[in-house]
Amino acid sequence: MNSITEKLLGMISNWNGKYEGAYNIRENGGCAGRQSTEHIKIENKEGAPGLEIRILPGTRGESVSIPACITHGDVDDLVYNDFYIGEDADVLIMAGCGVHTETGEAARHSGIHRFYLGKNSHVIYVEKHVGTGKGSGLRTIDPVTEVYLDEGAVLEMDTAQIGGVDKSTRNTRAELSSNAKLLIRERILTEYDQWARTDFEVTMNGEGAGTDLISRAVARGNSHQEYTSKMIGNGPCSGHSECDAIIADHGTVTAAPALTANHGDAALIHEAAIGKIAGEQILKLRTLGLTEKEAEAKIVEGFLG
């Protein structure tokens, strides 16, 4: 494993020289380390690059890390990782991605992650994306996340991309059976000429399914972000989505939420707001002795925190 990978691992995951629990480190399309455990099996996928990760029913309190790093330009890495989570399991999954290039050549990673959650299982899924290095080579991360939640399953997804990535198309789709819950927290910061697009599509099929989707975005410099969310309620379910964006400098944001209720007891709510940092927020922090710049930085930091 090279030193850039080590540095990226520190930024995108809980790497402290090693991982606790099961892991697979992907480096420039190859494998730089893997470990399965008694309850979590990681194997190569057949017929396509990527992994099959099986978490046995009833596994509790364990974690899997499957970071992917690109450490130089002229790499276009595509990977399919499938997670099968057994009934009643309760685990933490970390799948960060770091892309580094400084030669002026482009570096890209596309991770297609599929999650099949068994009945009453609970997964916390943490995903951090970073881009590093100098030079004009485009750093691109295009994640696709597909989620299938069986009865009573709960997925809490926490995904963040705080600068450094030049171009990103993020696609998240989920299908929920009865009493399944999906909680998504997304944080995106773009600056300079960066561009990010994020699409959510959540279909709630069963009775008692619930979704809470919270997306916060900051677009500054000349950057641009697009947000779309589709929430579809096919049964008695409840869905809430919220998209808040702060724009600064010449940053621009488009938000297009959509709700579809195909059942009389589907309750769907969307809230969206785009705007500059409220002037009174800056003023309040300035009355505490912060400069305007410091106040803005604190507000953004808290907002994306």
Partner 1 sequence: MLEIKDIKWSAPGGVNVLKGLSLEVPENKLVVITGPNGGGKTTLAKVIAGLETPDSGSIFLGGEDITKLDVTERAKRGISFAFQQPVRFKGITVRQLIELASGGTLKEDGLCAILSRVGLCAREYIDREVDSTLSGGEIKRIEIASVLARHTKLTIFDEPEAGIDLWSFTSLIDVFESMRSSLKGTLVIISHQERILKIADEIVVIADGKLKDKGSADEILPKLLGSSADCTTCAKKEVYLK
Q: Does 17 bind partner 1 (CB under 8 A)?
A: no
Please say which residue, 146 or 294, places its beta carbon nearer to partner 1: 294
Residues 258-287 contacting partner 1, CB under 8 A: 278, 280-281, 283-287
Residue 215 Cβ vs partner 1, minimum distance, rounded to whole Å: 12
Q: Using CB under 8 A, pick the residue from 108, 216, 220, 224 that binds partner 1.
A: 216
The total number of residues shown for the chain amounts to: 305
Q: Using CB under 8 A, pick the residue from 60, 136, 291, 297 that binds partner 1.
A: 291
**Short-list 198, 225, 245, 92, CA closest to 155:** 92
Residue 279 Cβ vs partner 1, minimum distance, rounded to whole Å: 10
Q: Does 170 bind partner 1 (CB under 8 A)?
A: no
Listing DSSP states for 150-178 in one string gives -TT-EEEEEEEEES--SEEEEEEEEEE-T
- Tokens at residue 289, please? 């002795």
Close Cβ partners of 163 (under 8 Å, ≥ 6 residues apart): 130, 131, 189, 190, 191, 194
Q: Does 292 bind partner 1 (CB under 8 A)?
A: yes
- The residue count for binding partner 1 (CB under 8 A) is 22
- Tokens at residue 266, please? 């589907």
Residue 163 Cβ vs partner 1, minimum distance, rounded to whole Å: 17
Please say which residue, 276 or 284, places its beta carbon nearer to partner 1: 284
Q: Does 212 bind partner 1 (CB under 8 A)?
A: no
Q: Using CB under 8 A, pick the residue from 90, 244, 261, 272 that binds partner 1.
A: 244
Residues 127-146 contacting partner 1, CB under 8 A: none
DSSP-derived secondary structure letter, 138 = P
Please say which residue, 31 or 283, places its beta carbon nearer to partner 1: 283
Please say which residue, 25 or 184, places its beta carbon nearer to partner 1: 184
Listing DSSP states for 75-87 in one string gives EEEEEEEEEEE-T
The owner of tokens 């850039």 is 4
Close Cβ partners of 188 (under 8 Å, ≥ 6 residues apart): 160, 161, 162, 168, 196, 198, 215, 216, 217, 218, 225
Q: Does 298 bind partner 1 (CB under 8 A)?
A: yes
The owner of tokens 């959510």 is 200
Q: Does 304 bind partner 1 (CB under 8 A)?
A: yes
Do the beta carbons of residue 149 and residue 183 sit within 8 Å? no
Q: Does 154 bind partner 1 (CB under 8 A)?
A: no
| Segment contacting partner 1 by CB under 8 A, of 20-28, 109-117, 225-233, 288-296 | 288-296
Where do the H-state alpha helices sit in the chain?
A: 3-12, 279-287, 292-304
Which positions lie near partner 1, rule CB under 8 A? 216, 244, 278, 280-281, 283-292, 298-299, 301-305
